[in-house]
Structure 1
Amino acid sequence: MARADDLDRFYDVLERLDRRVGGARRLKNCTGHMDWPDRGVYAFLEPGQYHEDGVRRVTRVGTHAVSAGSSTTLWDRLKQHSGTGDGSDAHPHGGNHRGSVYRKRVGEAIIENHDLHTEYPDWGERWSTVDRDRTVVRDEEYLLERRVSTYLREQPFLWMDLDDEPGPKSDRAVLERSVIALVSNAGREPIDPRPVDWLGRHSPSAAIRDSGLWNVAGVEDDYDPAALDLLETAVDATTPP
């Protein structure tokens, strides 16, 4: 029961964070002009899916700048997930899934769900392995990029301020790994299993289907309960943007 108790504590802290920042946001309503912390950890929540007591379930956990010397900000990462705005002349409301693993995974699930493999043969491939004109590929993938943007911009998310030096052993990296391992159902007794209509159930990745998260790395790892103390400290330091 230790994991169940720790999950309850995790969601209690997340609910406190929700109140502290004035409610979860959606990317469609966010801009870089908001006062985001430079560095932090974020959690996307699934509309209509809940942990007990009405707290929405986490379906993606992420951070940024975990490579030494990285200058990526929290908003930089969120903007990559959100995609392009209406000011993009060539591909408004599209995006670049090769710059966002979250976008890539959601697109893969849409392809599987609607059998679109023929329409998008290069989705998820690195540019170095795509033997076609990039402009043509971008144009072909535009409609799917728009569908991914529509999906992601509707996902509520919460964030917490956690500013330390970039690196794989940073507090942000430690917290991200532990939360993923705690929430994941992969390789363990399921808690809060996803409903059959969750898009991630169509993912070609067993890690996503089994974990109930859009994350892949670390979904079968052991979590560190002490990271929940770090989570509480980060929540207490977070203010609305």
Structure 2
Amino acid sequence: MEVLEKKNIQKKLLSNSNGRQKWHNRGVYFFFESNQKRSDSGDGLRATRVGTHALKYNSKTTLWNRLSQHKGTAKSGGGNHRGSIFRLLIGTAIIQENNLNFSTWGQGNTASKDIKKGELQLEQLVSQTIGKMPFLYLSINDEATPRSLRGYIERNSIALLSNYNKEVLDAASKDWLGHKCAREKVNKSNLWNQNHVEEVYDSNFLDIFEKLVAEMSVNE
């Protein structure tokens, strides 16, 4: 991660990011949180969300496309949690933490204008929360396919970082927002992920990861 950060120049914030900046076309991203520290594996922040994109054949989604879905909409400050599981999970935790009433949150793949208007306040809180999370990304410009190398890196990164039904390593702090999330896999994995948290990582993964980081060009 230290080498990857140098390739990114520094950790970025979605609140300061936009599509006019230089982005690699495809990759895997890693979000961190300022109050979540590594306690067993070393120093620095622990990764709390791993993701990628374009895992379906012929998908045209770029790295920035996916990050922008998590960021939300600049004009309203809101966003669309139905297009971002990351936003949905964060919103679920905010609801629980603040005892809010958003009965439509996470319901359906689409929503009417009235429902979206009623959810705007929470979408804004989600954008603010995610916008403060530093992130890095690893450029992997491969084809859009379920068998992509990006999918392999995402899956094994999550499996390695997850504390789900395992001996806890780099535990989430007591004030981590994810403890308020209604999804068991988020709570127990200490990650804003649900897929792959119960898996075992491939023993070859770290060597491949290291090689990819070393080969990545600096994002200037």
TM-score in same-fold range (> 0.5):
yes
Aligned letter for 1:207? K
Question: In 2, Cα distance between the equivalents of 1:238 and 1:189?
Answer: 36
Instruction: Say yes or no: does 1:162 pair with 2:140.
Output: yes
> Partner residue of 1:174?
152
> Partner residue of 1:71?
60
Question: In 1, Cα distance between the equivalents of 2:128 and 2:158?
Answer: 24
Question: In 1, Cα distance between the equivalents of 2:192 and 2:134?
Answer: 14
Once the two structures are TM-superposed, the CA of residue 20 in structure 1 deviates from its matched residue by: 2.4
> Partner residue of 1:151?
129
Once the two structures are TM-superposed, the CA of residue 126 in structure 1 deviates from its matched residue by: 1.1
1:54 alignment partner, SS class: coil
Question: In 2, Cα distance between the equivalents of 1:179 and 1:223?
Answer: 7
| 1:18–1:158 CA contact under 8 A, matched in 2 | yes
Question: In 2, Cα distance between the equivalents of 1:203 and 1:17?
Answer: 29
1:136 alignment partner, SS class: helix
| 1:105–1:214 CA contact under 8 A, matched in 2 | yes
Instruction: Say yes or no: does 1:212 pair with 2:199.
Output: no
| 2:82–2:106 CA contact under 8 A, matched in 1 | yes
User: Cα RMSD between the aligned structures?
Assistant: 1.2
| 2:9–2:218 CA contact under 8 A, matched in 1 | no
> Partner residue of 1:97?
81
> Partner residue of 2:98?
114
Change (3 A) 1:209 1:238: farther
Once the two structures are TM-superposed, the CA of residue 234 in structure 1 deviates from its matched residue by: 2.2
Answer with 1 or 2: which has the greater Rg.
Answer: 1
User: Among residues 35, 44, 48, which one is paired with 1:48 in the alignment?
Assistant: 35
Question: In 1, Cα distance between the equivalents of 2:211 and 2:182?
Answer: 36
Question: In 2, Cα distance between the equivalents of 1:127 and 1:80?
Answer: 14
Q: Give the percent of matched residue pairs that are identical in Structure 1 and Structure 2.
A: 39
Question: Residue deviations 1:211-230, cap 9 Å, x none?
Answer: 00000011010101212122
Instruction: Say yes or no: does 1:239 pair with 2:218.
Output: yes
Instruction: Say yes or no: does 1:20 pair with 2:14.
Output: no
| 1:15–1:55 CA contact under 8 A, matched in 2 | no
| 1:194-233 map, 5 Å | 194-233=172-211
User: Among residues 78, 81, 84, which one is paired with 2:73 in the alignment?
Assistant: 84
Once the two structures are TM-superposed, the CA of residue 15 in structure 1 deviates from its matched residue by: 1.0
| 1:58–1:183 CA contact under 8 A, matched in 2 | yes
Once the two structures are TM-superposed, the CA of residue 120 in structure 1 deviates from its matched residue by: 0.8
Is the helix fraction higher in 1 or 2? 1
Between 166-175 and 52-61, the greater mean CA deviation after superposition: 52-61
1:61 alignment partner, SS class: strand
Once the two structures are TM-superposed, the CA of residue 166 in structure 1 deviates from its matched residue by: 1.0
Once the two structures are TM-superposed, the CA of residue 127 in structure 1 deviates from its matched residue by: 4.0
Question: Residue deviations 1:109-158, cap 9 Å, x none?
Answer: 11111221xx3111001146x6xxx1110110000000000000000000
